[in-house]
Amino acid sequence: MKRFKWVPVLLILMLVLSGCNGFTKGGSGAEEVEAEGDKVTLDFWTFWGSEIRRPIIEQIIEDFNNSQDEIEVKHTFIPWGDIWTKELAAIAAGDPPDVVINDINATALRGKNQQAENLSKYLEEDDISGDFYEELWNATLYEGDSYGIPFNTDTRVLFYNKDAFEEAGLDPEQPPKTWDELREYADKLDVKNGDKYERIGFYPLFGVGTDVWMMNADNVNFIDENSEVQVNTPAKLQTLEWLKSWHDKYGENNINSWKAQMESQQANPFFSGDLAMLVQQPTFYTQIRDYAPDLNFGVALLPEKEPGNGHTSWGGGFVAEIPYGAENPDASWEFIKYLTGKEAQEYWAVKNFDNVANVEASESAASSDEFDDNGKMVYELAVEAMPQTMLTPVPLAAPDFTTLVNPEFDNVYLGKKTPEQAMKDAQAAVEKLIEQNAN
Amino acid sequence: MAGKRRFNYKTKEGLQGYLFILPWIIGFIVFTAGPLLFSFAASFTNYNVTSQMDFIGLSNYEKLFSGDQLFWTSLYNTLYYVLFSVPLTTAGAILLSALLNRDIPGMRLFRTIYYLPAVLSGVGVYLLWMQLLEPGTGMVNTVLAWFGIQGPNWLFDPEWTKPALIFMKLWSVGGGMLLYLASMQGISKSLYEAAEIDGANAWQQFTRITIPMITPVIFFDIVTSLIGGFQIFQEAYVMSNGEGGPVNSMLFYNLYMWQKAFEAFDMGYAMAMSWILFVIVFALTIVNLKLAPKWVHYEGGGK
């Protein structure tokens, strides 16, 4: 038996060595970007894995791959919940992907933290900044340099039920233009049976949050570009009071029961006519098309607080960026330029019914033959809303301030604080956070 | 075989032993101890994963204790959750296993049914519960309405969000039940027979025989679910969209830590938070271990 005594040791050594193999595999990113012939291979991460979006982005990638013979892009789908934490780990490990789709609102923060590559050297040669909506472009800047190129975006518009308008004696071609009209129309559109509502005219917090109406009223983010806290402003306070009055009008129970129905897509009360007006993203149209094709509806810009205040809407979006330390930034840039160029953008816009960042593509998509009449109507309005759509980029001084602000709004709706008190407390809490972060 | 006589038998055996556990030791050092020490060191810095890591002394800890209101909120939420969920799930699991520890036909089926929820886990279950807890149309409130009870707004009412989570946790006591059941079946029948002869009723048998005999498992369950309870994250992350729910009532410690780490990229701060949690859990576990001899009964008596 003596001669077998090293067998277990050998086995263990094998185990250990095979364990180490795991390291070498993950560590050598160079292998992944291995040249096939002379081609550079790029790894492109997106969270678009749905049966609608995936084929569209993959078609765009294929078109790019066929359009030239130096770069080969490979698509890696990573679920929404994982993609950016994985990316962060990959950047820290020095082996990031080549192009990633990321949240536009935190682009400056990623620039500051060196998570994304500075794109200004490419922009100097090839200035494409003018191709995009200004608000989107500005959101990508940190100290004047861009760290990501806007890809897609969205906005919020008012959908309304034309049949309900006629029933209530309102002109279906005249949607409400101001907050006062909104309230007046909603009162007319409400249908009550005793104490119970059968139709709710409008509730501003279905579909969007308190912040959207505050942007609509004030046109200023909670923390402005000079790191000044703009939470407790007169316009925002009035907004909160206004929203609270809607909450009181319908009451917690009605609101919850409508909200619950809204969460299951097909049973959305807007489709059944139990809700006459609703603020949503333009892509909401695709749900109407699929689940309520006979609905007679119209769309309008978000009503303004008072005449002349502006129909400011709110949106978000995504950028294509090069993670810091990517192997082939020049090739990545070429691909990003294609992604955000007119052709790819228009294809994405038309196939997805999604708003895109490229102005020219956006405008030409609006007249696309692929949309039906309703589709055209919605898309045209969305394009009209885009220049009046605000983004709320993550403030560098306090990236996570919303955890302090939102609970205060909740407190108001729950009747635990007056709007004045809540706004005062929110302002103080955010100021304190900024002060702390400064140290 | 030149080195044949270099080690005596004992050293050689010891070395071989280490060699055998080497894979674990390497794994522990590389994947557990290393990151642990790193996070301790980095908790004294402004580490943000990518661009900065400057020593800032105790500043992170100072901020946490002196000025961060959400730190206290999240700690309160977590303690609330642990304080209610640990005793309730433990008691629930014991009761359930006592019920399922009987000889009636079809018992296997019941055991399977009660264990089933423990098998299902993760996001799917949370989404299911979000539907069940829907205030207007959800099953829970519908059933309550049959008895004339107007159910609360569960996940929308800050007073009810944590009870809702604890309620949800109770659904899966089957996992603990399995441990208790196994331990109860190991109790010698002779003890019960003797008690019966002495005239003890079922309740007396349960409290004087069953409970003392399963205290080692109760102890194990309390320690592990206490630690698990402090780590609550997923439930709140899924059910509040990562935001912490109405009035931050579901902002648990780990959720807040996650927000600091991956939304604000203040990783140093998050690491400081994780060490505070570590100290809390460590202290509680020590207390548990110290108290254990007073109530945990190990058969054989020796320690």
Q: Which domain holds residue A108?
A: 37-154+316-391
Domains in chain B and their CATH numbers? 59-120+169-295 (1.10.3720.10)
A119-132 mean pLDDT: 95
Per-residue model confidence as pLDDT tens digits over A185-223: 999 999 998 888 999 999 999 999 999 999 999 999 999
pLDDT confidence of A174, banded at 50, 70, 90?
Answer: very high
What was the pLDDT predicted at A29? 41
A254 in contact with chain B, both atoms CB, cutoff 8 A: no
Q: Is residue A109 part of a domain?
A: yes
Selected residue of B39, B128, B131, B156 to mutate for chain A interface (largest A Cβ count, 10 A): B156
Q: Most distant CA pair in chain A: distance in Å? A: 100
Residues A192 and A279 in one domain: yes
- Residue A336 · residue A344 · CB < 8 Å: no
First to last CA, chain B: 45
Looking at the DSSP bridge assignments, the partners of residue A40 are A71
Query: CA torsion B169→B171→B176→B180, rounded to 10°?
Result: 140
Q: Is residue A416 part of a domain?
A: no
Residues A97 and A42: their CA atoms lie apart, in Å, by 8
Q: Is residue A424 part of a domain?
A: no
pLDDT confidence of A437, banded at 50, 70, 90?
Answer: confident
Residues A263 and A376 in one domain: no
Residues A164 and A262 in one domain: yes
pLDDT confidence of A6, banded at 50, 70, 90?
Answer: low
pLDDT confidence of B300, banded at 50, 70, 90?
Answer: low
Mean pLDDT of chain A: 90
Residues A276 and A321 in one domain: no
B155-168 mean pLDDT: 92
The answer, yes or no, to whether residue A30 has pLDDT greater than 60, is no
First to last CA, chain A: 69
pLDDT confidence of A275, banded at 50, 70, 90?
Answer: very high
A9 in contact with chain B, both atoms CB, cutoff 8 A: yes
Residues A293 and A360 in one domain: no
| Cβ–Cβ gap B20/A402 under 8 Å | no
Residues A46 and A180 in one domain: no
Q: Taking CB atoms and an 8 Å cutoff, what residues of chain B touch A8? A: 16, 19-20
Min mean pLDDT across A226-230, A294-298, B131-135, B226-230 is at: B131-135
Q: How far A272 CA sits from the closest chain B CA (Å)?
A: 17
From chain B, which residues contact A within 8 Å (Cβ)? Answer: 16, 19-20, 22-23, 26-27, 48-52, 59, 63, 67-70, 134-138, 153, 156-158, 243-244, 246-248, 251, 256, 259-260, 262-265
Residues A235 and A255 in one domain: yes
**Residue after which a domain boundary falls, among A357, A373, A391:** A391
The answer, yes or no, to whether residue A22 has pLDDT greater than 70, is no
Q: Which two tokens stand for residue A232?
A: 């407790």
What was the pLDDT predicted at A226? 87
What was the pLDDT predicted at B5? 63
B198-212 mean pLDDT: 93
Residues A184 and A282 in one domain: yes
Q: How many domains does chain A have?
A: 2
Min mean pLDDT across A233-237, B50-54, B283-287 is at: B50-54
- Complex ipTM above 0.85? no
Residues A173 and A261 in one domain: yes
Nearest to A403 by CA among B267, B69, B149, B52: B69
Per-residue model confidence as pLDDT tens digits over B130-157: 889 988 778 999 999 999 998 888 888 8
Residues A274 and A348 in one domain: no
Per-residue model confidence as pLDDT tens digits over B23-55: 999 999 999 999 999 999 999 999 999 989 999
pLDDT confidence of A36, banded at 50, 70, 90?
Answer: low
Q: In CATH, what number is assigned to the domain containing residue A354?
A: 3.40.190.10
What was the pLDDT predicted at A387? 94
Residue A396: closest CA among chain B residues belongs to which residue?
B264
| Cβ–Cβ gap B19/A439 under 8 Å | no
B263-289 mean pLDDT: 95
